[in-house]
């Protein structure tokens, strides 16, 4: 079968999964909705592998295949088709997405086992995977925007999955509103680009760009505007500063959702976008600089916030934000293969970390705060092992995959020279911070004295909360529909969870082997046909900087682990002392714990004025102008007019007769005048 047929199959299976689960859930027995969902994504993964094999059957110059299903609106000035583009980049993305998604679906079967919204969950999750695949397989801007919007919608549905919790619904709304801002940027950016290229197809756009649609210089006005607006879309979806405030709140969703959407797939859509649009970005270095700076700023700020958070899922969320900062920085400076490689490895270890976090949250019966966790090492050995693997990968310790990918990004950044050295330095500072906060989390949760829940688990039965509470606000909640189920799953007791986590751990460890610098270039070679026209694609890292970079990365990772050990394990009161007694420490801690006050800034700058404008519009414009003047005025006029006319129907027969006679006289008079 041709690669594009495999491509359509990749899209078909999750769509079928959604439809079957959504419409048939009443008739599906037991927990089969979960198995159907998982099978759908597994089939999609198989189809993705098929697409890979079929694609590699072509010569490298002919690996960009477009297949159109039907013409949606091909008319004067516009060409919108329902078509997919199968090329190395999209195959790379669909493999990552379907691979990680299959494992997360498997994990969810156990995790959401007692939840009453089980079928709804899998319908939403399949819909999400379908949307993400649509996004990465789209071959024109229209389908990209459609996929983008669907992904945002799926994210909203899944974040507010436990919809009777006000915190969850509020988080869902926040995520969706910020996503919409990104959508607006995306659509406007498309317009600016379409204005010059007059085609919606990607390949056509790139061809037109090469042929001079934006001139032959760089930084043409419309192109920069378009690329910056595309970046706005990318930042909203990938949670970069300043549109990042939704990601920590999105942790209100179930943990597998956080693992899939907010670690491995949806937040990488921005990275994919920049990589896909690289011919445009290469002609607009100003936009590339914006992206690089935003990525660097995010990775630093998110790293510092991660140091101060106490909710385990939020620590991992900020770490995601930080790592995506690396990826954005990477693809903005031209390190496409490196950035995408980091995307793949990050998907593995971040999904693994979230799954493990779900396991320990289950052991704590829904409690998510690190302050209440401790000493789970003996009670949850498998989870501990997964955390270690994921944490080491995240910290960039060799031979784990994170080491190779992260350092590759930084290497290429350093190669560019000039002001990019600042990004290089920031990148390594970020790596240091990453190691610290990651292992702060691991040590606080697993080392030290076991908390009562851990002791219960060691004793053999998991802890159950008597009154289930909302982990964020502490309010009591019941376990009816719209809330989590009454029991929680832990990895040690659920085989599907262990299989999923195990496979991801293997990936986290071994994925780095495909792209060891100077040794093998699997990812580079695979992606080359897409990026053939990129300016810095060929890796020509000088040996000197290579060695320095690799050693520095390793050392910083290990140093971070050691520092975390010293502060949180060896000398337990150190953190508290730093926070409270060192003056700089107190100020910094306040800043980090309040997330650099971005939420408050948004609230003051945007939320309050818009709410005030809405109140004004409702009171003055709608009430006074529309209701009273326009509608009331019109009806009043009609009522008055009809009251005036109604006076002619007064019921007096004589009056009617008189009018008759008068009428006849009038008509007669008229005819008399005529003669």
Partner 1 sequence: MSIGWYLAVSAIVFSTGAVGVITRRNPLVVLLCLELMLNGGNLALIAFSRMWGNGDGQILALVVMTVAACEVCIGLGMIVAIHRRRLPVDVDELRELQG
Partner 2 sequence: MSAVLFFIAAIGVITGAIGVVMLRNPFYCVLALVVHLVALAVLFLLLRAEFVAAVQVVVYAGAVMVLYVFVVAYVGGEGNGSAGQLGERLRGSGPVASGLRLGGTLAGGALLVELLIALLGTGLKAVSGYGAGYPVGLPEAQTFGTPAYIGNLLLTRFLLVFEIASFLLLVAAVGGVVLARRRRGLGPDEERDVITPLDLLRPRGTGTMSEGVGRPTP
Which residues of this protein are in contact with partner 1, per CB under 8 A? 646, 649-654, 657-658, 661
Residue 672's binding partner out of partner 1, partner 2, none, with CB under 5 to 8 Å set by partner kind: partner 2
What number of chain residues touch partner 2 (CB under 8 A)?
Answer: 14
Measured from the CB atom, is 495 or 661 closer to partner 1? 661
Residue 573's binding partner out of partner 2, partner 1, none, with CB under 5 to 8 Å set by partner kind: none
Minimal CA–CA distance to 161: which of 116, 129, 130? Answer: 116
Report the 3 state secondary structure along 205-236. HHHHHHCCCCCCCCCCHHHHHHHHHHHHHHHH
Residue 543's binding partner out of partner 1, partner 2, none, with CB under 5 to 8 Å set by partner kind: none
Please, which of residues 226-255 interact with partner 2 by CB under 8 A? none
Measured from the CB atom, is 612 or 657 closer to partner 2? 657
Region from 134-142, 244-252, 510-518, 660-668 binding partner 2, contact rule CB under 8 A: 660-668
Please list the residues that pair with 74 across neighbouring strands: 79
Shortest separation between residue 648's beta carbon and partner 2, angstroms: 12
| 112, 359, 504 from 497: Cα distances, Å | 11, 9, 11
Region from 64-72, 335-343, 412-420, 661-669 binding partner 2, contact rule CB under 8 A: 661-669
Beta-sheet strands, E only, within 64-201: 65-75, 78-86
Measured from the CB atom, is 642 or 650 closer to partner 2? 650
Shortest separation between residue 651's beta carbon and partner 2, angstroms: 10
Two tokens at 410?
Answer: 């930084």
Region from 53-61, 164-172, 467-475, 664-672 binding partner 2, contact rule CB under 8 A: 664-672
* 669 touches partner 2 by CB under 8 A: yes
Measured from the CB atom, is 57 or 668 closer to partner 2? 668
Region from 477-485, 541-549, 550-558, 658-666 binding partner 2, contact rule CB under 8 A: 658-666
Residue 597's binding partner out of partner 2, partner 1, none, with CB under 5 to 8 Å set by partner kind: none
- Whether the link from the prior residue into 481 is cis, omega within 30° of 0, is no
Please, which of residues 633-652 interact with partner 2 by CB under 8 A? 650, 652
Shortest separation between residue 650's beta carbon and partner 1, angstroms: 5
Measured from the CB atom, is 27 or 654 closer to partner 1? 654
In whole angstroms, what is the distance from residue 559 CA to residue 435 CA? Answer: 8
Spatial contact of 190 and 141, defined as CB atoms under 8 Å apart: yes
Angle at 358 between CA 352 and CA 359, to 5 degrees: 90
* 672 touches partner 2 by CB under 8 A: yes
In whole angstroms, what is the distance from residue 205 CA to residue 193 CA? Answer: 8
**CA torsion angle for 198, 204, 209, 210 (degrees, to 10)?**
-150
Expressed in angstroms, the distance from the first to the final Cα of the chain is: 94
Region from 106-114, 211-219, 307-315, 665-673 binding partner 2, contact rule CB under 8 A: 665-673
Report the 3 state secondary structure along 576-640. HHHHHCCHHHHHHHHHHHCHHHHHHHHHHHHHHHHHHHHHHHHHHHHHHHHHHHHHHHHHHHHHH
Measured from the CB atom, is 75 or 650 closer to partner 2? 650
Residue 668's binding partner out of partner 2, partner 1, none, with CB under 5 to 8 Å set by partner kind: partner 2
Residue 669's binding partner out of partner 2, partner 1, none, with CB under 5 to 8 Å set by partner kind: partner 2
Q: 3-state DSSP call for residue 365?
A: coil
Count of beta carbons in the 10 Å neighbourhood of residue 372: 14
In whole angstroms, what is the distance from residue 474 CA to residue 368 CA? Answer: 11
Minimal CA–CA distance to 357: which of 501, 562, 487? Answer: 501
* 610 touches partner 2 by CB under 8 A: no
Measured from the CB atom, is 419 or 655 closer to partner 2? 655
* 668 touches partner 2 by CB under 8 A: yes
* 656 touches partner 2 by CB under 8 A: no
Residue 216's binding partner out of partner 1, partner 2, none, with CB under 5 to 8 Å set by partner kind: none
Minimal CA–CA distance to 39: which of 90, 109, 95? Answer: 109
Q: φ, ψ for residue 83 (rounded to 5)?
A: -140, 150
Q: What does the binding site for partner 2 look like in residue numbers (CB under 8 A)?
A: 650, 652, 654-655, 657-658, 661-662, 664-665, 668-669, 671-672
């Amino acid at each position: 079968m041709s690669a594009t047929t495999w491509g359509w199959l990749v899209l078909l299976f999750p769509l079928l999964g959604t439809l079957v689960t959504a419409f048939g859930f009443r008739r599906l027995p037991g927990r089969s909705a979960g198995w159907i969902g998982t099978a759908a994504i597994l089939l999609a993964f198989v189809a993705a592998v098929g697409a890979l094999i079929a694609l590699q059957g072509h010569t490298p110059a002919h690996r960009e295949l477009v297949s159109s299903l039907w013409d949606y609106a091909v008319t004067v000035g516009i060409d919108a088709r329902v078509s997919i583009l199968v090329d190395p980049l999209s195959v790379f993305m669909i493999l990552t997405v379907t691979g990680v998604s299959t494992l997360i679906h498997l994990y969810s079967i156990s995790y959401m086992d007692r939840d009453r919204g089980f079928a709804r969950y899998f319908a939403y999750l399949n819909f999400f995977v379908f949307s993400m695949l649509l996004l990465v397989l789209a071959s024109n801007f229209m389908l990209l925007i459609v996929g983008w919007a669907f992904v945002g919608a799926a994210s909203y549905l899944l974040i507010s999955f436990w919809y009777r919790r006000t915190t969850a619904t509020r988080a869902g709304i926040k995520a969706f509103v910020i996503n919409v801002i990104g959508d607006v940027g995306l659509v406007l950016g498309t317009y600016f680009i379409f204005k010059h290229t007059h085609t919606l197809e990607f390949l056509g756009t790139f061809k037109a760009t090469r042929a001079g649609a934006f001139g032959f210089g760089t930084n043409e006005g419309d192109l920069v505007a378009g690329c910056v607006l595309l970046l706005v879309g990318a930042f909203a979806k990938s949670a970069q500063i300043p549109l990042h405030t939704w990601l920590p709140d999105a942790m209100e969703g179930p943990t597998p959702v956080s693992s899939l959407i907010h670690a491995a797939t949806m937040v990488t859509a921005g990275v994919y976008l920049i990589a896909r649009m690289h011919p445009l970005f290469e002609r607009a270095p100003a936009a590339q600089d914006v992206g690089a700076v935003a990525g660097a700023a995010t990775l630093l700020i998110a790293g510092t916030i991660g140091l101060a958070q106490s909710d385990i899922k939020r620590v991992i969320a900020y770490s995601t934000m930080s790592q995506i900062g690396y990826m954005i920085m990477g693809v903005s400076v031209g390190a496409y293969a490196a950035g995408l490689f980091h995307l793949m490895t990050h998907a593995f270890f971040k999904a693994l970390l979230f799954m493990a976090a779900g396991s320990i949250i289950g052991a704590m019966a829904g409690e998510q705060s690190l302050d209440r966790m401790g000493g789970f090492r003996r009670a949850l050995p498998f989870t501990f092992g997964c955390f270690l693997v994921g944490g080491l990968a995240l910290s960039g310790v060799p031979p784990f995959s994170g080491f190779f990918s992260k350092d590759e990004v930084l290497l290429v950044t350093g190669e560019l020279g000039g002001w990019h050295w600042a990004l290089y330095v920031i990148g390594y500072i970020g790596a240091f911070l990453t190691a610290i906060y990651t292992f702060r989390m691991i040590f606080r949760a697993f080392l030290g004295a076991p908390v009562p829940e851990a002791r219960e688990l060691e004793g053999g039965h998991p802890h159950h909360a008597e009154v289930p509470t909302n982990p964020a606000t502490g309010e009591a909640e019941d376990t009816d529909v719209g809330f989590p189920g009454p029991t929680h799953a832990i990895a040690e007791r659920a085989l599907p969870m262990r299989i999923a986590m195990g496979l991801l751990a293997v990936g986290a460890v071994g994925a780095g082997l495909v792209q060891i610098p100077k040794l093998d270039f699997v990812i580079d070679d695979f992606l080359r046909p897409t990026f053939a026209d990129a300016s810095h694609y060929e890796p020509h890292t000088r040996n000197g900087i290579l060695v320095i970079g690799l050693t520095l990365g390793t050392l910083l990772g290990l140093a971070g682990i050691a520092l975390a050990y010293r502060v949180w394990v060896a000398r337990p009161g150190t953190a508290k002392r730093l926070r409270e007694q060192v003056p700089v420490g107190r100020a910094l801690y306040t800043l980090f714990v309040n997330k650099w006050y971005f939420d408050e800034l948004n609230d003051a700058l945007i939320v309050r004025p818009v709410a005030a404008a809405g109140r004004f519009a409702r009171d003055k414009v709608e009430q006074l102008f529309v209701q009273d003047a326009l509608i009331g005025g019109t009806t009043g006029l009609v009522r008055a007019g009809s009251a005036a006319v109604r006076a002619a129907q007064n019921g007096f027969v004589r009056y009617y007769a008189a009018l008759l006679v008068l009428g006849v006289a009038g008509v007669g008079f008229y005819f008399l005048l005529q003669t």
